[in-house]
Amino acid sequence: MERKQQFRDYLLTQGLKSTRQREIILDAFLQSGGHLSTEELYLQIRQQHPGIGYATVHRTLKLLAGSGLAESRHFGDRQTRYEQCSGEDHHDHLICTACGAILEFEDGDIERLQQRVARQHGFHILSHRLELYGRCAKCGPE
């Protein structure tokens, strides 16, 4: 519920308006977990709200990313995916190339070593992306 308010506040600060469509898309996004493509969310919303267009879903997902409610992800394929992000926390991904499963993990030790690498190169990290591709426990080591 405060998520929804966070989005409305963001729209206000940007001089944008709350609309019926944006509320519907936000609701659908918050309900469905996981790593959704625009297409996937659009198809799901269309079942209950056939009037809402693809472009509006696309534009709203970008707004959600701007508001900090969603984060965009780019895995192997070409399409952008979005997932909910809860403020400060960060996580990376294990991706099974056999069944497509996506596991999430956090590892403070790795993040610290990333900072060390950055320091060694005089680099200031703003974000990062770590993806481990392979086979999940269910699919076995090939």
Q: Which of 96, 99, 100, 102 binds a copy of itself (CB under 8 A)?
A: 96
Q: Examine residue 17 and tell whether it contacts a copy of itself (CB under 8 A).
A: no
Choose the contact partner of 96 out of DNA, Mn ion, Zn ion, none; CB within 5 to 8 A by kind: Zn ion
Measured CA to CA, the distance from residue 136 to residue 127 in angstroms comes to 26
The candidate with the shortest Cα–Cα distance to 16, out of 67, 83, 54, 82, is 67
| Dist. CA 28–CA 96, nearest whole Å | 26
Cβ atoms 125, 115 nearer than 8 A: yes
58 binds, among DNA, Mn ion, Zn ion, none (CB under 5 to 8 A by kind): DNA
Q: Which residue from 1, 15, 86, 99 is in contact with Zn ion, where contact means CB under 5 A?
A: 99
- Say whether residue 105 binds a copy of itself (CB under 8 A): yes
Gap between the Cα atoms of 71 and 53, Å rounded: 21
Contact 22, 52 (CB under 8 A): no
Using the minimum distance from each CB to a copy of itself, give the nearer residue, 9 or 104: 104
Binding residue for Mn ion (CB under 5 A) from 23, 27, 40, 83? 83
Which residues form the interface with Zn ion (CB under 5 A)? 96, 98-99, 101, 136, 139
